[in-house]
Amino acid sequence: MDKEALRRKYLEERDKRLRPDGNDQYVRLTGRFAHYLDDPYTPRTERAPKTDHVTVAFVGGGFAGLVTGARLKEAGIDDVRIVEKGGDFGGTWYWNRYPGAQCDTASFVYMPLLEETGHMPTEKYAHAPEILEHCRRIGKHYGLYDDALFHTEVQDLEWDASRSRWTVRTNRGDAFTAQFVVMGIGPLHVPKLPGIPGIDDFRGHSFHTSRWDYDYTGGDPSGAPMDRLAGKRVAVIGTGATAVQCVPHLARACAELYVFQRTPSSVDVRDNRPTDPAWFAGIATPGWQQRWLENFTGNQTGGLTGEDLVMDGWTDIARRVRARIAALPPEDLTPEKMAQAYEDCDFEKMEEIRARVDTIVRDPETAAKLKAWYGQLCKRPCFHDEYLQAFNVPGTRLVDTDGRGVERVTERGVVVAGVEYEVDCVIYASGFEVTTDYTRRAGYELTGRDGVRLTGRWAEGMRTLHGIHVHGFPNAFIVQPAQGANLISNIPHNLTEAGRTIAMIIRHALDHGFDEIEVTEEAENAWIELLLSGPGGILGASADCTPGYYNNEGRDPGMKGRLNIGHPQGATAYFSYIDRWRTSGTFEGLEFRERARRM
């Protein structure tokens, strides 16, 4: 392995993809795409506006709302109202129903509350319909449907200091109050398009993958053949995790499929398999899912040695790094030598992933273009056993844009390097807003104590204690990974832990007759200081990486981006810290107040 040559090649490929406009290269879905705001799956029912009071209002009915709702119910807090813009629970799994959608992290750790609900995932990597059904199962099991408001978007959350409660206003005319509000809006729920000219001029059909148009394609989310694409020429723009899953299905269905690539994904082995019920009965002993969660997180983030229960591509790199470090003589256990061991393992892994392309893709020119030249954790790693194979299907063609992206869309098709590819349909697999402001993605403002708005409070970047509490916003909680474990390989683990923490805090306040909970400014500042003392960012995603949302499109993230970090000692350290913090019962850094005493 010529490491110097590899480093040079990685930088060359990164430079091709660097752009001065960073995140501004993308635009929101408007015009012909504005229908993404409508719900094609569930009819909307009329109801009277709510003007009552609840103990807890939760914004968002995805995994975050479900796991927090579950923990609240377990803690005996029954009065929980989930407000959700979709027509049912599920969040990302409600909206994203593209063919081939499945979890990329093993179901046993990805699907929350399996032990509590008694569900055995049918496959190591469950497909989307099963995950959506599991969301409904959690909703039913914990009685979360009873007071849920579907097809309802929060428009405004305002703190009413005189009554120590929040007023929740929605697009359905609701104006109810809640003693506590919790927000779990999801990191990737606002779809985006490339900001290229001509998208609206296209005369054929087009849609974004998050709103798959089965009326046009035929087929269904469970993978039935897309028979209406027979004889059709289709373009897919983008080759990220979504495209990797839906391209094999399109390749089977279309007469001609053009896959427009700007940066190849790294596509490692998937090795999916049905779950053997006898094996599952053996592992599913009391406490099994928590053990699996801790084992996966520990292995994947380097905090654990020993047995690897999940054994997949996510834990593979960590296994290699550990083995290499264990082989170092004691005098070589320096940060530099350990970083070197990490880089060596990563080069080795990526060489294997690139070699895999050659063993699968028959056309050498196409194979060469499908090779990813960057560190595995620079961009979201992908795992699939049919994506690369799809480029052997007659009629499927890779159009590589050499890092520059498609130039424009015309009335007839897609243009790259001056060549127009005529198609009947353009499918945008172009991803979601990730690094934009929280309130922009949420679609509502949070107005806290003394009229302070969250947008203003976070103008220089997110500031929280544990990623959950914000000074100036009493009785409000946020459920998301940043400034906590920041574990990207298994987002639900972040959410289940946050849900447990919040339920314990609210239980404590109710038991002791406290009306208000607020993080002190000192505790918030101290937490931020601790976070900034670590390496920061997403593991592996440095400025040397090819651009993407992991590294702020390759631009200096500034303080805003730098604050998108996790615990300096990693996810496992955060989870054990937060468990000690919440079980101590003192909730250090939070102030619990009675209204009468404050006034």
**What are the helix (H) ranges across 111-213?**
114-117, 128-141
* Residue among 380, 471, 493, 508 that touches ligand NDP (CB under 6 A): 380
Q: What share of the chain is helix, strand, coil (3-state, %, to 5)?
A: 40, 15, 45
d(CA 178, CA 168): 7
Count the residues of the shown chain that bind ligand NDP, applying the rule CB under 6 A.
Answer: 27
Contact map string, positions 160 to 199, toward ligand NDP, x by CB under 6 A: ----------------------------x-----x-x---
Contact range with ligand NDP by CB under 6 A, out of 74-82, 101-109, 456-464, 479-487: 101-109
Stretch 204-263 residues interacting with ligand NDP (CB under 6 A): 237-243, 245, 260, 262-263
Stretch 390-409 residues interacting with ligand NDP (CB under 6 A): 401, 405-406
The dihedral built from the CA positions of residue 84, 90, 92 and 96, taken in this order, carries a sign that is: negative
* Residue among 14, 17, 85, 463 that touches ligand NDP (CB under 6 A): 17
Our CA angle for 457, 461, 463, nearest 5°, is 65
* Residue among 221, 548, 557, 566 that touches ligand NDP (CB under 6 A): 548
Residues whose CB falls within 8 Å of the CB of residue 6, separated by 6 or more in sequence, listed in order: 347
| Interface with ligand NDP, residue 313, by CB under 6 A | no
The dihedral built from the CA positions of residue 532, 538, 543 and 547, taken in this order, carries a sign that is: negative
**What are the helix (H) ranges across 18-143?**
63-74, 92-95, 107-110, 114-117, 128-141
Residue 553 C-beta: closest distance to ligand NDP, Å: 8
Integer distance in angstroms from the first to the last C-alpha of the chain? 70
Report the half-sphere exposure of 371 (CA within 13 A, side-chain side): 23
Residue 564 C-beta: closest distance to ligand NDP, Å: 14
- Contact (Cβ atoms closer than 8 angstroms) between residue 401 and residue 238: no
Residue 275 C-beta: closest distance to ligand NDP, Å: 18
154 or 259, CB closer to ligand NDP? 259
Residue 481 C-beta: closest distance to ligand NDP, Å: 11
Residue 14 C-beta: closest distance to ligand NDP, Å: 11
Residues whose CB falls within 8 Å of the CB of residue 77, separated by 6 or more in sequence, listed in order: 55, 56, 503, 506, 507, 510
196 or 452, CB closer to ligand NDP? 196
90 or 405, CB closer to ligand NDP? 405
* Residue among 99, 121, 375, 431 that touches ligand NDP (CB under 6 A): 431
Residues forming beta bridges with residue 446, ordered by sequence position: 157
Tokens 């520990």 correspond to 298
Residue 254 C-beta: closest distance to ligand NDP, Å: 19
Among 448, 444, 497, smallest CA distance to 468 is for: 497
Tokens 């994506």 correspond to 387
d(CA 254, CA 247): 10
Contact range with ligand NDP by CB under 6 A, out of 221-229, 323-331, 366-374, 426-434: 426-434
190 or 590, CB closer to ligand NDP? 190
Residue 435 C-beta: closest distance to ligand NDP, Å: 11
102 or 475, CB closer to ligand NDP? 102
Residues whose CB falls within 8 Å of the CB of residue 577, separated by 6 or more in sequence, listed in order: 567
Residue 523 C-beta: closest distance to ligand NDP, Å: 31
154 or 244, CB closer to ligand NDP? 244
Contact map string, positions 262 to 291, toward ligand NDP, x by CB under 6 A: xx----------------------------
- Contact (Cβ atoms closer than 8 angstroms) between residue 190 and residue 433: yes
Contact range with ligand NDP by CB under 6 A, out of 156-164, 428-436, 437-445, 530-538: 428-436
* Residue among 39, 84, 88, 104 that touches ligand NDP (CB under 6 A): 104
3-state secondary structure of 499: helix
81 or 371, CB closer to ligand NDP? 371
260 or 421, CB closer to ligand NDP? 260
- Contact (Cβ atoms closer than 8 angstroms) between residue 358 and residue 367: yes
d(CA 101, CA 430): 15
Among 565, 541, 538, smallest CA distance to 464 is for: 565
80 or 541, CB closer to ligand NDP? 541
Residue 188 C-beta: closest distance to ligand NDP, Å: 5
Residue 100 C-beta: closest distance to ligand NDP, Å: 9
**Tokens read off for 73:** 């119910």
177 or 242, CB closer to ligand NDP? 242
**Around Cβ 148, how many Cβ atoms within 10 Å?**
20
Pairing assessment for the beta strands 154-160 and 445-447 based on DSSP bridges: parallel
- Contact (Cβ atoms closer than 8 angstroms) between residue 235 and residue 413: yes
Contact map string, positions 70 to 99, toward ligand NDP, x by CB under 6 A: ------------------------------
Q: List residues binding ligand NDP (CB under 6 A).
A: 17, 102-104, 188, 194, 196, 237-243, 245, 260, 262-263, 380, 401, 405-406, 429-432, 548
